[in-house]
């Protein structure tokens, strides 16, 4: 029992350390729109799991609220206090429009969310993240990495009791695993390089 608890604790710690997310700041005041420059530009493309933070950086009474699309959020009643921040973590691929409700004609924008690992990674750099789809899944599990490493990467899958159910080397940017005979439940998927410089872990649920 103690070994099982230690294993779950280690995996949980690994998951928290390996989560690769970013926080994107939007400076939020009069003129914050898709034509603005710098952090005041309000058309942003991010990855699933990233957080957008709106920063009240100047004068004016503002809030921020979604007006349609994939996700829903609202910072609440407008406030005029500079330095106020509101953040939202995006969890689904798609687009979401947003406005300052008192100034919707000159404070507005769109957040476009793409799948994890889609942005800005060059070929043959060591991957810093990977994605699993569909998740949950029933018949197959697809592993997608945004870049190839200059050394081989191993893929290991463990069940919740710590038993390794899969161990193979990745041969490309996408690998499809037949999971039709796996038992239903949660699994831990680990991606690692030979020298352990790359060690990433995600949860996967078999239906």
Largest CA distance in the chain: 60
Nearest to 95 by CA among 45, 165, 52, 151: 45
State whether the Cα torsion 2-10-145-41 is positive or negative: positive
Strand bridging mode 140-144 / 174-178:
antiparallel
Domains of the chain with bracketed CATH: 2-19+118-206 (2.60.40.3080), 23-114 (2.60.40.420)
Runs of H (alpha helix) within the chain = 2-18
What would the two tokens of residue 36 be? 């603005």
Q: What is the length of the chain?
A: 207
pLDDT at 66 (0 to 100): 98
d(CA 53, CA 64): 10
pLDDT tens for 7-57 read 444 444 444 434 457 889 999 999 999 988 888 999 998 889 999 999 999
| CA distance linking residue 207 with residue 196, whole number of Å | 31
Number of other residues whose CB lies within 10 A of the CB of residue 83: 7
Confidence (pLDDT) at 120: 55
Residues 76 and 57: beta-carbon distance below 8 Å: no
Q: What is the pLDDT of residue 16?
A: 40
Ranges in the chain, pLDDT < 70: 1-20, 118-127, 148-151, 196-197
């Amino acid at each position: 029992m103690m070994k099982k608890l230690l294993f779950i604790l280690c995996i949980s710690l690994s998951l928290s350390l390996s989560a690769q997310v970013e926080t994107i700041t939007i400076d939020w005041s009069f003129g914050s729109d898709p034509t603005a420059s710098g952090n005041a530009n309000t058309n942003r493309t991010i990855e699933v799991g990233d957080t957008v933070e709106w920063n009240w950086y100047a004068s004016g009474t503002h809030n921020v609220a979604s007006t349609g699309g994939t996700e829903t959020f609202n910072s609440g009643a407008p406030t005029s206090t500079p330095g106020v921040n509101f953040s939202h973590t995006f969890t689904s691929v798609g687009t979401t429009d947003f406005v300052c409700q008192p100034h919707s004609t000159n404070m507005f924008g769109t957040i476009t969310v793409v799948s994890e690992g889609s942005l800005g990674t060059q070929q043959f750099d060591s991957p810093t993240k990977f994605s699993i789809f569909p998740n949950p899944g029933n018949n197959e599990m697809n592993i997608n990495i945004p870049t190839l490493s200059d050394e081989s990467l191993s893929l290991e899958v463990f069940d919740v009791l710590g038993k390794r159910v899969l161990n193979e080397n990745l041969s490309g940017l996408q690998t499809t695993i037949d999971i039709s005979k796996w038992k239903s439940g949660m699994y831990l998927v680990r991606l690692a390089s030979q020298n352990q410089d790359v060690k990433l872990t995600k949860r996967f649920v078999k239906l």
